[in-house]
Amino acid sequence: MAELHKIIANVKEALGVATPGNAHDAAATAVPVSPSAYRAELTSTFARELEEVGGKFVGILTPAEVSSRIVSLAREIGAKSVAIGRGLASDMDAIGEALERADIRIVRTVAVADVERAAMRSRVADADLGIAEADFAIASTGTLAVVSTAERPSSLTLLPPASLAIVQIDRVMPNLAEALAALGADGVAANRLTLITGPSRTADIEKRIVLGVHGPKSLHVIVVWPQDD
């Protein structure tokens, strides 16, 4: 990923276009080449901003690579149980099965009746990793926009100590305004939406930054690039 960005930066410099020190201008200064180069550029900005706020960019993967990468990530962080929600475009069932094959316990979030709520919640809270697909990623700030639904509850990105988000590359937006516009007034009105910019953090003790106060201590992001365009 880092290499790709360097190349694009070099190309830009050669073209005499200033490198976007501020990703805010990413949309305006993007080189008008193929849509895939534009997406790669946005994703590299997103990756840089994500890392700056303490998140970890796992990489751009093809759909086929996702499951095995998640299994190895779960092993790296020593996860014994993983909470997983329903996907948007990603096949979360396949990911869940791959994790189960690797002897990792899976908590699938499904619609719950009020009486089952507490039980489901403590299972999600006890998981070592929560996996959710994000609706959008925002390049300029390294942010994820995640809508909470019955099968993809907000708890997935909040309760477990580690969080993993998957986002489709065509859902990486240049900035906040465009992401909100893509969701639309109706989309925002109808849903519980959360913008997530890095892991949970505080600077309340002598302004020293500490990660993982109430939410996850680590945040990992995979961008999925279907190679059909």
Partner 1 sequence: MPEFPKADFFESSLAAVGDHDLQRKLESASARHLDHFAQIKAEFPAYEDEREKAHRIKTEAIAHLDELLIELTSKLEARGCRVFFAENAKQARDYIVKLAQAKGARTVVKGKSMTTEEIDLNDAFERVHIKAIETDLGEYIVQLRGERPSHIITPAIHLSKEDIGQLFAEKFHTEYTPEPEKLTAEARSRLRTIFLGADLGVTGVNFAIAETGTLVVVENEGNGRLSSTMPETFVAVMGIEKVIPRLEDLSHFLEILARTATGQKLTTYTSFITGPRREGELDGPREMHVVILDNGRSAMLADPVLREALNCIRCGACLNVCPIYRRIGGHAYRSVYPGPIGSIVSPNLFGSAAGYLPFASTLCGACKDICPVKIDIPRILLHLRWKESNGGHQLKWPRAIERARRGARRFAATARHPRTIRALGRFAAMMLKPFAHNGYLRRMPGPFGNWIKYRDFPRPRPHKRPPG
Q: Rule CB under 8 A: which residues touch partner 1?
A: 21-22, 24, 49, 53, 109, 111-114, 117, 120-122, 124-125, 140-143, 148-150, 153-155, 158, 175-177, 180-181, 185-186, 188-208, 210, 212-215
> In this structure, which amino acid lies at residue 153?
P
**Closest separation between CB of residue 36 and partner 1, Å?**
27
Record the tokens describing residue 28, joined without a space.
């305006």
Residue 149 to residues 19, 48, 113, 189, 193, Cα–Cα distance (Å): 39, 29, 14, 14, 9
Distance CA(92)–CA(132), nearest Å, equals: 9
Nearer residue to partner 1 within complex by CB, 15 or 205:
205
Nearer residue to partner 1 within complex by CB, 71 or 84:
84
Among candidate residues 221, 155, 147, 142, the one with its CA nearest the CA of residue 184: 147
**Closest separation between CB of residue 61 and partner 1, Å?**
25
Nearer residue to partner 1 within complex by CB, 15 or 185:
185
Nearer residue to partner 1 within complex by CB, 55 or 61:
55
Record the tokens describing residue 13, joined without a space.
């410099």
**Closest separation between CB of residue 26 and partner 1, Å?**
12
**Closest separation between CB of residue 94 and partner 1, Å?**
23
Record the tokens describing residue 188, joined without a space.
């925002």
**Closest separation between CB of residue 166 and partner 1, Å?**
19
Nearer residue to partner 1 within complex by CB, 41 or 135:
135
Nearer residue to partner 1 within complex by CB, 126 or 170:
126
**Closest separation between CB of residue 167 and partner 1, Å?**
16
Distance CA(26)–CA(23), nearest Å, equals: 5
Distance CA(64)–CA(15), nearest Å, equals: 36
With contact defined as beta carbons under 8 Å apart, do 167 and 137 qualify? yes
Neighbour-count burial for 158-182, b at 16+ CB within 10 Å, e otherwise? bbbbbbbbbbbbebbbbbbeebbee
**Closest separation between CB of residue 211 and partner 1, Å?**
9
Residue 55 to residues 68, 71, 216, Cα–Cα distance (Å): 21, 19, 11
Nearer residue to partner 1 within complex by CB, 89 or 150:
150
